[in-house]
Structure 1
Amino acid sequence: MARIDSITVDIIENALKNIKEEMDVTLFRSAMSPVIREQHDCFPMITDAEGKMVVGNFGSHIPEVIKQFPEGMHDGDVIFVSDPYSCGGSVSHVNDWMIILPIFHKEKLVGYSSMFGHVIDVGGPVPSSMPVTATSIFGEGIRFPPVKLYDKGVLNEAIIKIIKANTRTPLENYSDLMALVASCRTAEKRVKELCERFGTDFYFEALDALLNRTEKMMRHLITNFLPTEPVSFEDYIDDDGLGNGPFKMKLTMWREGEHAYFDWTGTDKQSPGPINYYLSEPMFKMFIGSFLISVFDPAINFNDGFYDLLHIETPEGTLMRPKSPAALGCRTHALSRLFDVLSGVLAINSPESSPAAGYGTSPYFIFSGQDEEGRSFNLMEVMYGGLPGRPIGDGLDGHSWWPAFVNIPTEYLETYYPLMVNYYKTGTDSGGAGKHRGGNCNEKLYTILASGQVSIHDDREKIQPWGINGGEAGSSSSKLLIKKDGTQIRLSSKVDNVDVEKGDQILFITGGSGGWGNPIERNPNLVKLDVARGLVSKEKALNSYGVLLGEDLEVEIEETESIRAKMREKVGELQSFNFGDRDQTLVKL
């Protein structure tokens, strides 16, 4: 076998990263759904011939899907899947459509490209296909087990007909599906060019080197940062939208030598409602690796090279591994809260090295109906919240858990949907106070310009995001319907088909995030800047940070020093975790 040098490995690695970016660009320019096109709710991947992810985000699902085709893969095949239960949770609800494309070079399989994206509507009883009231996956829309959308280059027209007949948005869904295929074909073309340039043997050797490099670095992280004694942490989802809850998510972690173990035993049983999350083992391994790499060594490339070092236990019949046909449509509450739990368990022995909790969900605003000209519309917008305070600095204000996600521009919303955005801003004082402030929430006020129905998916309404290492807890979420006559109606965080009329308003407030470190250690000039920017009020500056600001917002230095001295005497030993009102809230619930 040819011996490859490290420079060539680096060239191929960066070429693959660029290919992944080109996959995204192809999709964004071709898809029609705003959740994909504007918000970038999609995840690309390129693997080796065995299906191991070399570049990507979510970990490889390829082997589990491919084994369902005993006839094997051929040049021109394209696989389509949207059923979580038939692909081990590789897609986590039926709105996520995944394409897998085998890549052949000179009749030899050299890898796979894959992309999945969230399409707006796949049928079911409510627009956008994520009913809060679903009690099984059968009530959430059409789903496809792994099928060949193209068989040796020939399109299966029957699949297209079935798709179009089972959605409120047939044009958008067809365009999104073909955009996903085009994205994978882009990767196919570029990978073939790499094989042509370097030769298949060199290409294979480079992929092995990339996987081995990541494994070696991950062994170092596991050995140096994970405990040998088991530690546990738990957090809660408020409810399932059907009156059940809260639901506990508990994770225990330890290491044995260079191997790490993560056990979800103690997590509550699966929910009657649709907040269950079918946790894919490869995906969770990628989450763990992503977290460790991001915190301790961001230079490491994400790939499947370290998977053999991680061991996952997820009891069947629980919230994180429900039995079919449990409903999964609102699984993002558990999916996002997973990061808070993972952060917490890693922080047990070193809170000074870990972030606090964030808004811990993926809020959705859904608005559908017919405009005044009789045209149907269906909007689903992903909302964001506060990201947690961190050892290296403040949390991000009004940001997505997924770094690549962005907001839908107001101009786009107001052009294509009958609504007006009155304001879109971060919520003052919603981030937990800390030496490094927790990120603030989002507040968005809509004015409805056509009668229709609004659905809302959110969490952290009852149980706050916790602070760490002396930081305070962040704020909870809330929703308000303001009728055109001025009547105000509180909406729950999970509700379907709220009737709205022209002139009504919806105020959508997401959760904030926890702060990191003792607030009275924060530089007073940073507190002054927060107040000037509207991120912190003068009252919170005084009460939480011990900073007295004058009328001109200048720091009253002597008074501030005196106030902070008194606060230090009262504080005593700092808490590793500050759960806010969680204990009292859990008792009430």
Structure 2
Amino acid sequence: MPATVDPITLDIIENALKNARFEMDNVVVRIALSPVIREQHDEFPMICNERGQMVVGQFGSYIPAIVEKFRGDIHDGDVFVWNDPYACKGSISHNNDWCVMMPIFHDGVLVGFSSIFGHMVDVGGKVPGSMPVDAHTIWEEGLRIPPVRIYERGVLNRGVLDIMLNNTRTPDMNRADLMALIAGCRTAATRVRELCDRFGRETYMAACDLLLERTHAAMKTLIETYIPEEPVTFEDWVDDDGLGNGPFRMRLSIYRKGEKAVFDWTGTDDQAPGPINFHIHEGLCKLFFGVYMIMAFDPSIMFNEGFYDLFEIVLPEGSLLNPRFPAALSNRLNTHTRFFDCQAGALGQRAPHLSMAAGYGTSPHFIFTGHDRDGRYFQLMELLFGGVPGRPRGDGLDGHAWWPLFSATPIEYIENYYPVLVESYRPTRDSGGAGLHRGGCGIEKVYRLLEDGRVSIQDDREIVPPWGINGGLYGGTSSKWIIRAGSGERERLPSKKDNLAVKAGDTIIFITAGAGGWGDPLDRDPALVARDVRHDLVSPGKARSDYGVVLKEDGSVDDAATEALRAAMRAERGEPAPFSFGFTPPERIAAQ
């Protein structure tokens, strides 16, 4: 007979697992060396039940595929590692993500798994950072590791470790980061065994099942409430693939079939020649839809895999979201984040009061490599952020990450460890789309380089702006510039560029996209618009043209002039459009 779990015990186990998941984060960032994991927290932990279903965490779905590969040949003390997206059914989506997994045994009985993947600053390949913008195949993107044991029954497999570290430009950082991921998994295993000791193994395992069942029931209610039986469809676009091709259409249809929600990507463009393809596992696709619905509609729901059987996914083979091997994948986040934009646009048609606009739409990165005056190799990699969408609850965040736990690399860290001065770091004025709730602003970061070397950059939403919703306006696009030392010449760079030769004294200006606004900007409190002007987030000209707010010379609101201007703008405009795109799809241009 299955163990029964009283509500108080279930609550204690739930919160203990949540705490263990955050403890995994803390252990990892204390041990890691790379700025991407140590400072920016680009690592994702989870704790699973004995069937490999995520009970707490951020990314699930992949443990059963790894267990199946080893056909039950899994033992206490084993730790598995891999990074090949094609060899693990898309559980991780580019070679830079090294994933570790360990089984958790209690008195010889398998009770679960712990796992973390984290972004390594370099895994080999044709360019430093291993994310070439001009890759045609995954062979150009660095070392591919199938699922293998890095520890077997507690003993380190030095041959595997040596091969992994021999194929990176940053072996010291990679070794520290890998051991940090393993330490995080071991921490979770310790906490799970403690729970089994405290409450009994059967009670613990039954509690995990109950947590999954509770999320299943809650998601079923969300689907019945917010997913219509008639399909709703939305399209968004990725700028380009780094090889001159694009823009690329992503098309999503959502509807309800019985108690299941169907997410159908039919109509999405074929896979790209360049590295923006997103080889997404069906389970991971379900996870992304689930986390969006939970965060948009009911954040109190525990995020786990309990809802998976309520979702049906259609991923056309050979498309941008289901590419055929050996398609390049390294810059797949341009497509990944547009995934969320399409979901917001589709759901926003039936529940506009709960949806949000589009955001900065990728994971921009800046890489600077070379040798310092002492001949030592350096490799700075930094993820940059942009505008987070306007939303029902308020303005979007300025210069924030898509992933809630990510943080910006401290300028002190960059300047202490790399030959770089960060001359400014600020929001980009007028990049947040106007709305009742303003879209978040992108950021402008200015780097002055102190050594000769090479720079690689990657970004998107330079061509296709982040759209606004419910009358909100689209946000600002991204741009990149270099100012050459001596001449002072300012040259615009493409949004995707590898191995740009730079000299000491050159300046790189990295501007990320903003986000779309939410709601009619003519309904925004004029005092908030005046505040945004004072904070240099909105220009006086945009305050007038987009918000209908007239400011006096001292920056205060001219109430009478504002009321009159807004009345005239409403009369001329009529009802605001449900979406503001700022982009005309190629087929419409051809038809004109």
Residue 585 of structure 1 and its aligned partner are, at CA, apart by 10
Rate the CA distance shift 1:504–1:585 in 2: closer, same or farther, 3 A.
farther
Question: Can you list the C-alpha shifts for 1:166-222, whole angstroms capped at 9, x where unaligned?
Answer: 111111111111111111000011100000000001101111110010000000000
Rate the CA distance shift 1:586–1:44 in 2: closer, same or farther, 3 A.
farther
Question: 2:553 — aligned with what?
Answer: 551
Equivalent pair of 1:246/1:586 in contact (CA under 8 Å) = no
Equivalent pair of 1:99/1:180 in contact (CA under 8 Å) = yes
Structure 2: which 5+ residue stretches go unaligned? none
Report the 3-state secondary structure (helix = DSSP H, G, I; strand = E; otherwise coil) of the residue aligned with 1:7.
Answer: helix
1:56-455 correspondence to structure 2 within 5 Å: 56-455=57-456
The letter of the residue matching 2:103 is P
Q: 2:493 aligns with which of 491, 502, 512?
A: 491
How many Å separate the matches in 2 of 1:70 and 1:560? Answer: 70
Question: 1:27 — aligned with what?
Answer: 28
How many Å separate the matches in 2 of 1:280 and 1:60? Answer: 8
Residue 160 of structure 1 and its aligned partner are, at CA, apart by 1.2
How many Å separate the matches in 1 of 2:71 and 2:299? Answer: 40
Equivalent pair of 1:468/1:578 in contact (CA under 8 Å) = yes
Equivalent pair of 1:229/1:254 in contact (CA under 8 Å) = yes
Residue 15 of structure 1 and its aligned partner are, at CA, apart by 0.2
Residue 57 of structure 1 and its aligned partner are, at CA, apart by 0.6
Question: 1:536 — aligned with what?
Answer: 538
Residue 588 of structure 1 and its aligned partner are, at CA, apart by 8.5
The letter of the residue matching 1:575 is A
Question: 1:3 — aligned with what?
Answer: 4
How many Å separate the matches in 2 of 1:349 and 1:550? Answer: 40
Report the 3-state secondary structure (helix = DSSP H, G, I; strand = E; otherwise coil) of the residue aligned with 1:67.
Answer: helix
Residue 281 of structure 1 and its aligned partner are, at CA, apart by 1.5
Rate the CA distance shift 1:419–1:585 in 2: closer, same or farther, 3 A.
farther
Question: Can you list the C-alpha shifts for 1:295-322, whole angstroms capped at 9, x where unaligned?
Answer: 1111000001010000101011111010
Question: Can you list the C-alpha shifts for 1:21-41, whole angstroms capped at 9, x where unaligned?
Answer: 000000000011110000000
The letter of the residue matching 1:569 is A
Q: 1:572 aligns with which of 571, 574, 590?
A: 574
Report the 3-state secondary structure (helix = DSSP H, G, I; strand = E; otherwise coil) of the residue aligned with 1:352.
Answer: coil
How many Å separate the matches in 2 of 1:424 and 1:72? Answer: 51
Question: 2:503 — aligned with what?
Answer: 501
Report the 3-state secondary structure (helix = DSSP H, G, I; strand = E; otherwise coil) of the residue aligned with 1:374.
Answer: coil
Instruction: Report the identity percentage.
Output: 55
How many Å separate the matches in 2 of 1:84 and 1:60? Answer: 13
How many Å separate the matches in 1 of 2:210 and 2:162? Answer: 44
Residue 586 of structure 1 and its aligned partner are, at CA, apart by 7.4
How many Å separate the matches in 1 of 2:377 and 2:337? Answer: 32
**More off after superposition, 58-67 vs 411-420:** 58-67
How many Å separate the matches in 1 of 2:221 and 2:150? Answer: 42
Q: 1:581 aligns with which of 565, 573, 583?
A: 583
How many Å separate the matches in 1 of 2:454 and 2:37? Answer: 22
Instruction: Provide runs of 4+ in structure 1 moved above 4 Å.
Output: 583-586
Report the 3-state secondary structure (helix = DSSP H, G, I; strand = E; otherwise coil) of the residue aligned with 1:474.
Answer: coil
Question: Can you list the C-alpha shifts for 1:233-259, whole angstroms capped at 9, x where unaligned?
Answer: 111101101011111111111002221
How many Å separate the matches in 2 of 1:460 and 1:187? Answer: 38
Report the 3-state secondary structure (helix = DSSP H, G, I; strand = E; otherwise coil) of the residue aligned with 1:227.
Answer: coil
Residue 548 of structure 1 and its aligned partner are, at CA, apart by 0.8
Report the 3-state secondary structure (helix = DSSP H, G, I; strand = E; otherwise coil) of the residue aligned with 2:438.
Answer: coil
TM-score (norm 1): 0.99
Rate the CA distance shift 1:588–1:43 in 2: closer, same or farther, 3 A.
farther
The letter of the residue matching 2:392 is P
Report the 3-state secondary structure (helix = DSSP H, G, I; strand = E; otherwise coil) of the residue aligned with 1:97.
Answer: strand
Report the 3-state secondary structure (helix = DSSP H, G, I; strand = E; otherwise coil) of the residue aligned with 1:353.
Answer: coil
Question: 1:473 — aligned with what?
Answer: 474
How many Å separate the matches in 2 of 1:122 and 1:353? Answer: 41
Equivalent pair of 2:255/2:261 in contact (CA under 8 Å) = yes
Matched residues, number: 589
Equivalent pair of 2:226/2:350 in contact (CA under 8 Å) = no
How many Å separate the matches in 1 of 2:426 and 2:582? Answer: 24
1:505-524 correspondence to structure 2 within 5 Å: 505-524=507-526
Residue 331 of structure 1 and its aligned partner are, at CA, apart by 0.5
Question: 1:563 — aligned with what?
Answer: 565
Report the 3-state secondary structure (helix = DSSP H, G, I; strand = E; otherwise coil) of the residue aligned with 1:582.
Answer: coil
Rate the CA distance shift 1:20–1:205 in 2: closer, same or farther, 3 A.
same
Residue 584 of structure 1 and its aligned partner are, at CA, apart by 7.6
Rate the CA distance shift 1:391–1:71 in 2: closer, same or farther, 3 A.
closer
Residue 587 of structure 1 and its aligned partner are, at CA, apart by 3.4
Residue 573 of structure 1 and its aligned partner are, at CA, apart by 2.0
Q: Is the counterpart of residue 40 in structure 1 residue 41 in structure 2?
A: yes
Residue 71 of structure 1 and its aligned partner are, at CA, apart by 4.8
Residue 347 of structure 1 and its aligned partner are, at CA, apart by 1.1
Question: Can you list the C-alpha shifts for 1:400-434, whole angstroms capped at 9, x where unaligned?
Answer: 00001000000000001101000000001100000
Report the 3-state secondary structure (helix = DSSP H, G, I; strand = E; otherwise coil) of the residue aligned with 2:394.
Answer: coil
Report the 3-state secondary structure (helix = DSSP H, G, I; strand = E; otherwise coil) of the residue aligned with 2:69.
Answer: coil
The letter of the residue matching 1:470 is G
How many Å separate the matches in 1 of 2:20 and 2:50? Answer: 17
Rate the CA distance shift 1:510–1:10 in 2: closer, same or farther, 3 A.
same
